[in-house]
Amino acid sequence: MSETPRWYVVHTYSGYENKVAQNIEKGVENQGFGDRIFEVRIPTETVEEYNDDGKKREVERKVFPGYVLVKMLITPESWYFVRNIRGVTGFVGSTTEPIPLTEKEVEALGVELKSVQVNFAVGNSVKVTHGPLEGFVGKVVGIDTDKGIVQVSVSFFGRDTLADLQLGEVELAEE
């Protein structure tokens, strides 16, 4: 049994995703699985649709119809409980041992959003704390928190050069 909860993919009958998610959440409350089953998610996306009149409306669609994501600790009891919810056909993985999603897969699916706090803005001076430009000071030209990148204009050898750095590689410079 793993010590930390992981995300697992549960295969359901198509159209049963919401009902399965509700039943898992009810079971967590009623049967005391709160210490082993932590979250249930159905990945969705918002899509713009146009009807016959040409009117636009936003619709929420399931990204993976027939699948529900569950963050849980796998024990024989929790595995049996989820496996036997009405509408569940099984876990993704072998029939005896479900395979958890990797960190990259969880990140790519956007299941767990990691918030990034940046204490500098475009135009601020920052000091590079890691990497080949360590110790240099430059001006922030752009910030992309989704990709975790900050674009910095660094001056060396008398020329300004743009460098794309990770957010963790820079800190606000003392002025």
| Nearest C-alpha neighbor of 81 from the set 155, 8, 157, 169 | 8
Share of the chain above pLDDT 70, in %: 94
User: How confident is the model over 93-129, as pLDDT tens digits?
Assistant: 877 788 898 888 887 776 765 556 778 889 999 998 8
Delimit the domains of the chain by residue range. 6-109, 125-172
According to the model, what pLDDT value does residue 2 have? 55
In the chain, count of helices (H) and strands (E)? 3, 11
| Nearest C-alpha neighbor of 39 from the set 68, 60, 81 | 68
CA-to-CA distance for 173 and 175, rounded, in angstroms? 6
User: How confident is the model over 47-94, as pLDDT tens digits?
Assistant: 888 888 888 888 888 888 999 999 999 988 989 999 999 999 999 987
pTM: 0.62
Categorize the per-residue pLDDT at 175 as very low, low, confident or very high, splitting at 50, 70 and 90.
low
Amino acid letter, 140:
V
- Domain 6-109 matching CATH 3.90.1200.10: the answer reads no
CATH dotted code for 125-172: 2.30.30.30
Sign of the CA dihedral with 24 first, then 25, 30, and 36 last: positive
